[in-house]
Amino acid sequence: EAGVTQFPSHSVIEKGQTVTLRCDPISGHDNLYWYRRVMGKEIKFLLHFVKESKQDESGMPNNRFLAERTGGTYSTLKVQPAELEDSGVYFCASSRAGVHGYTFGSGTRLTVV
């Protein structure tokens, strides 16, 4: 089966601009997660979708971040406006219902200058 696909793989934007990251989960995976790793820190949870519904968004840092999962398929994570501290690697992961282990994508490296 195809893995979790994320794009772009890299994005460099200026402070104040908007960026949208996309994640295509494995087909049939109801659970979709966003995580991020900022420089020198551990990977941290952002939010969890079950199909198209937000199950847990406790990790979203502030209201500049907006995640959507229309139709319960792919998901987007928009950062508007981007700040320097948003730089890092954003990972998406997916899993089947009732399965605890995730499959991660390769991540999007976001650099805000």
Q: Does 107 bind other proteins (CB under 8 A)?
A: yes
Q: Does 102 bind other proteins (CB under 8 A)?
A: yes
For other proteins, the closer of residues 82 and 94 by Cβ is 94
In the chain, count of helices (H) and strands (E)?
Answer: 0, 11
Q: Sheet containing 5-7: which strands, arranged edge to edge?
A: 5-7, 19-24, 75-79, 65-68
Nearest to 47, CA basis, from 27, 37, 61: 61
Q: Does 25 bind other proteins (CB under 8 A)?
A: no
For other proteins, the closer of residues 6 and 19 by Cβ is 6
Nearest to 111, CA basis, from 80, 81, 84: 84
DSSP label at residue 99: -
* Shortest Å, Cβ 81 to other proteins: 27
Q: Which of 42, 62, 70, 71 binds other proteins (CB under 8 A)?
A: 42
- Residue 80 burial (CB count, 10 A): 13
Q: Does 67 bind other proteins (CB under 8 A)?
A: no
Q: Does 88 bind other proteins (CB under 8 A)?
A: no
Residues contributing to the site for other proteins (CB under 8 A): 4, 31, 33, 35, 41-45, 48, 55-56, 58-59, 91, 93, 95, 100-107
